[in-house]
Chains A and B, each alone.
Chain A
Amino acid sequence: MSGLKIEHVYKRYDNEGKGKKKKVNDFAVKDLNLEAEVGEFIALLGPSGCGKTTTLRMTAGLEEITDGSIYINDVRVNDLEPKDRHIGLAFEDYAMYPPLTVYDNIGFNLKAKGVSKEEIDKRVREIAPLMQCDDLLDKMPVKLSGGQKQRVNIARAIVRRPDLLLMDEPLSHLDGKARQAMRTEIKRLINEIKCTTVYVTHDQLEAMSLADRIAIINFGVLQQYGTPAEVYDDPVNEFVAGFIGEPPMNILETTIIGENDHFFFTFANSNLKIQVPERYYNVVKHGFKCKMGVRPMDVLIGGPDSKGTPEHVATFENLGDERRIGIRVGDLLLMLITEDETRYKAGDTIKLEVRAEKTHLFDIETGDRIRSN
């Protein structure tokens, strides 16, 4: 049994209405296929407007499915009312009932379904400690901080023991510190209740830290679906490579040249020269143009004996936990991260080394990953 199956799903918003020109919109979601196992936590990740929330809303039944099928626990739900889909919803804004206490807010949906008082009490008191809101039960929503409201909001979504939990950017209203704490709590919670979960976010960090698998979507099209390690280490294209990771992967246009039986990446208006890993030798040739990707943590500052290329520091950022250095390569900045405590300044010279074996190649036109044969 799969917890969620999305099969060839399309979504197109109608643009018909009085006084409007008839116009066919692009698909907001195009031929989407996804499957989550029971108890699996998947994240839908992509920039704003990519179709991730539309997908969530179709799954919840808040939006018509233009074409294709959605199954929850192997039951086709296309024609089921939202209330019959056995789902729990937690959205970005909390939408709590202001005149009700936290306790009554959490129990509200159960009460509406006619669950007995004793059973409601049992379930609310079972869920509250999981979301660390047992001390809040008697409070009114106005008395709660943003983080507390979101805890209550999630507790309310899971108290019904849904087959599928749907969360849409639940942390985006919280400030940095509260967000970090909630991330850990959600991770604990999901481990505890083992409910199939779909989590929509534009924040790659949330997706990476929470999800078992991540579906990366752009312009309504699924780009890659894999574990955090897969999408990080083995991106299928330039979009995924650039979207996952903070700071993002350096992606630079390069011309490959052959010299003395070796190939090197070279860059317009730059002296930088990086050896191409040998596994690519059968897919590149002298004069081959592509894009080279390398993560900032795979660019290093060489020691005094380094054979690395001498380069000038263009930008230096001290971020406390780490320091980031930008090197100008043509018009672009090549970023590197270091825990080295040295405070560089613009104009300083460093020896630049690149972990060549960690470089990726992308097609200059399509952005698709070029793999070694």
Chain B
Amino acid sequence: MARITLENVKKSFGKVKALDGISLDIKDKEFFVLFGPAGAGKTTILNNIAGIQVPDEGLVKFDGQIVNLVDAAHRDTAMVFENYALYPQMTVYDNMASALRSNLYKKDEDYINKRVHEIAKMMSMDYLLERLPSQLSNGQKQRVAMGRALVRMPKVYLMDEPLAHLDAKLRNAMRTELKGIQAQFGTTSVYVTHDFMEALSLADRIAVINEGKVVQIGTGDAIYDLPINEFVATLMGDPEINIIPGKLSKEGSVYKFAMKGSGREYELPVDQDLFAKLDTLGVKNVDLALRPQHLRYSFESKPGYLPCTVYSYESIGNKSVIVAEIGGQQLRMIAPNGLRVKIDQDVYVDLDLSHSLFFDSESKDFMARYNEAEIRRIAEPEEEG
């Protein structure tokens, strides 16, 4: 059990600033996800918590105690890596037991035996205990690596993309399993990933990291529905959210949005709170953002629909993605499978603007969105206690 705090942590490797003032407050028992693109600094944060690396500046605290000068071995964390890091010459049993045989966390063999079997059973891998790592599939190896972390009951689990090497089927199964395990043990967990689905699915809270800085911290709902800027908005969701530059104007009490690519002017559906916020902000050049599920298409001309051409059509199994293009603006939308769609053919697109988000086209920062108060209520639960 531990609360982990990072205060203005900085870390450089030569000229490269890997961490540029990271502050985080990870609560006891929380499942906390560090999410961001490759090279953002996620793993460096994890290594600084583990004690594998030491900050150049700033503090790392466990339960309020500064641990900057505490060895990795003495911080009582357990790490799970992307590449498993199993001892090849040891059986699964001995790999799992190794965590309890080290001088520091030594337990007697009876206890170890009981504990290893308990965890192995829970992770449905008791039948693997006699095998060597070379006799395991990748999914099984990852399960062993996790099992080894679990036998010890450390203060905190640190996991670095543990599911990245697994195929879709296993990744799904392990994700569900991992969530169950963490809920059962209630051990504070810090989890690094660049997969938005893992982040949304596992996290109590997510910290979006980019270029060594924290961009946004919040629940999955907050990151998905109330992204602080366009960068965060585009990280969540597949296919990616549509960013449509244009101009806002007001006539009487009605707001209009003139789309840059097509020149089409839309009258925005009425949302008094939104309009009031736009009044206050007074920004004219905006990027309207709309998730692909809020666009509709037709292959015949329809009133109000934008005439576009098909830029690409991709089947992705249970659904397809049509990318339409008009005046250099690409519009991504969801379609069913098995359509006969040719690249460069005509397609007509309708936007359901009542789900729009607005960003300042200069700063790319979040301005406002439809139904904001209601969404904030769901996405930003009151702090307990």
Give residues of chain A (169-218) contacting chain B, Cβ–Cβ below 8 Å. Answer: 174-178, 180-181, 183-184, 187-188, 191, 202-205, 208-210
CB of A297 within 8 Å of the partner chain = yes
Known: A184-B323, A229-B337, A229-B338. A320 touches B237 (CB 8 A): yes
Known: A205-B316, A246-B172. A317 touches B234 (CB 8 A): no
Give the size range of A's interface with the partner. Answer: 35 or more
CB of A244 within 8 Å of the partner chain = yes
Question: How far does the alpha carbon of A202 sit from the alpha carbon of B318 in the complex, in Å?
Answer: 18
Known: A175-B37, A180-B240. A187 touches B314 (CB 8 A): yes
CB of B53 within 8 Å of the partner chain = no
A-side contacts of B321, CB under 8 Å: 209
Contact B337–A232 (Cβ < 8 Å)? yes
Q: Which of B220, B236, B239, B318 interacts with A180 by CB under 8 Å?
A: B239
Contact B168–A248 (Cβ < 8 Å)? yes
Q: Interface code B277-312, partner A: CB below 8 Å = 1, 0 otherwise?
A: 000000000000001010000000000000000011
B-side contacts of A242, CB under 8 Å: 169
Known: A146-B38, A176-B195, A177-B37. A203 touches B314 (CB 8 A): no
Known: A175-B194, A242-B169, A246-B172. A321 touches B38 (CB 8 A): no
Question: How far does the alpha carbon of A200 sit from the alpha carbon of B140 in the complex, in Å?
Answer: 24
Enumerate the 8 nearest inter-chain pairs by beta-carbon distance, A residue then B residue, closest first. Answer: A209-B314, A320-B224, A317-B201, A248-B169, A175-B38, A246-B168, A175-B194, A247-B172
A17: min CB distance to chain B, Å:
19
A-side contacts of B221, CB under 8 Å: 318
Contact B180–A229 (Cβ < 8 Å)? no
Give residues of chain B (239-272) contacting chain A, Cβ–Cβ below 8 Å. Answer: 239-240
CB of A258 within 8 Å of the partner chain = no
Residue of A nearest to B221 (CB): A318
Give residues of chain A (5-62) contacting chain B, Cβ–Cβ below 8 Å. Answer: 47-48
Residue of A nearest to B235 (CB): A177
Contact A295–B318 (Cβ < 8 Å)? yes
Contact A320–B314 (Cβ < 8 Å)? no
A-side contacts of B318, CB under 8 Å: 245-246, 295, 297, 337
Contact B200–A228 (Cβ < 8 Å)? no
Question: How far does the alpha carbon of A318 sit from the alpha carbon of B221 in the complex, in Å?
Answer: 8
Contact A202–B167 (Cβ < 8 Å)? yes
Q: Interface code A332-362, partner B: CB below 8 Å = 1, 0 otherwise?
A: 0101010100010000000000000000000
Residue of B nearest to A326 (CB): B176
Known: A47-B167, A248-B172. A177 touches B314 (CB 8 A): no
A51: min CB distance to chain B, Å:
16
Question: How far does the alpha carbon of A319 sit from the alpha carbon of B293 in the complex, in Å?
Answer: 14
CB of A66 within 8 Å of the partner chain = no
7 other contacts beyond A246-B317, A247-B168, with CB at 8 A cut-off?
Answer: A208-B315, A208-B316, A228-B315, A243-B167, A320-B197, A320-B200, A320-B237
CB of B71 within 8 Å of the partner chain = no
Count how many chain B residues have C-beta atoms less than 8 Å from C-beta atoms of the other chain: 42
Question: How far does the alpha carbon of A295 sit from the alpha carbon of B316 in the complex, in Å?
Answer: 14
B-side contacts of A309, CB under 8 Å: none
Q: Which of A187, A210, A318 interacts with B220 by CB under 8 Å?
A: A318
Residue of B nearest to A331 (CB): B124
CB of B196 within 8 Å of the partner chain = yes
Residue of B nearest to A333 (CB): B176
Query: What are 11 A-B contacts with C-beta separation under 8 Å?
Result: A47-B167, A175-B194, A183-B314, A188-B311, A188-B312, A205-B317, A209-B316, A209-B321, A228-B317, A317-B176, A320-B197
Question: How far does the alpha carbon of A340 sit from the alpha carbon of B375 in the complex, in Å?
Answer: 15
Residue of B nearest to A185 (CB): B312
Residue of B nearest to A343 (CB): B378
Give residues of chain A (295-338) contacting chain B, Cβ–Cβ below 8 Å. Answer: 295, 297, 315, 317-321, 324, 326, 333, 335, 337
Residue of A nearest to B176 (CB): A315
CB of B343 within 8 Å of the partner chain = yes
What is the predominant secondary structure among interface residues of chain B facing chain A?
mixed
Question: How far does the alpha carbon of A202 sit from the alpha carbon of B166 in the complex, in Å?
Answer: 10
Contact B314–A176 (Cβ < 8 Å)? no
A-side contacts of B83, CB under 8 Å: none
Question: How far does the alpha carbon of A205 sit from the alpha carbon of B316 in the complex, in Å?
Answer: 6
Give residues of chain B (146-186) contacting chain A, Cβ–Cβ below 8 Å. Answer: 167-169, 172, 175-176, 179-180
A-side contacts of B37, CB under 8 Å: 175, 177-178
Contact A319–B337 (Cβ < 8 Å)? no
Contact B200–A318 (Cβ < 8 Å)? yes
Contact B314–A184 (Cβ < 8 Å)? yes
Known: A180-B239, A184-B312. A319 touches B234 (CB 8 A): no
CB of B25 within 8 Å of the partner chain = no
A-side contacts of B168, CB under 8 Å: 203-205, 246-248
Most buried by B among A204, A244, A318, A319: A319
Residue of A nearest to B37 (CB): A175
Give residues of chain A (216-238) contacting chain B, Cβ–Cβ below 8 Å. Answer: 228-229, 232
Question: How far does the alpha carbon of A47 sit from the alpha carbon of B200 in the complex, in Å?
Answer: 26
Contact A208–B234 (Cβ < 8 Å)? no
B-side contacts of A315, CB under 8 Å: 176, 179-180
Contact A210–B314 (Cβ < 8 Å)? yes
CB of B98 within 8 Å of the partner chain = no
Q: Which of B194, B201, B239, B311 interacts with A319 by CB under 8 Å?
A: B201
A44: min CB distance to chain B, Å:
15
B-side contacts of A229, CB under 8 Å: 315, 337-338
Q: Which of B138, B169, B196, B291 interacts with A243 by CB under 8 Å?
A: B169
Question: How far does the alpha carbon of A360 sit from the alpha carbon of B168 in the complex, in Å?
Answer: 20
Question: How far does the alpha carbon of A222 sit from the alpha carbon of B110 in the complex, in Å?
Answer: 48
Contact B293–A321 (Cβ < 8 Å)? yes
CB of B238 within 8 Å of the partner chain = yes
B-side contacts of A228, CB under 8 Å: 315, 317
B181: min CB distance to chain A, Å:
12
B289: min CB distance to chain A, Å:
14
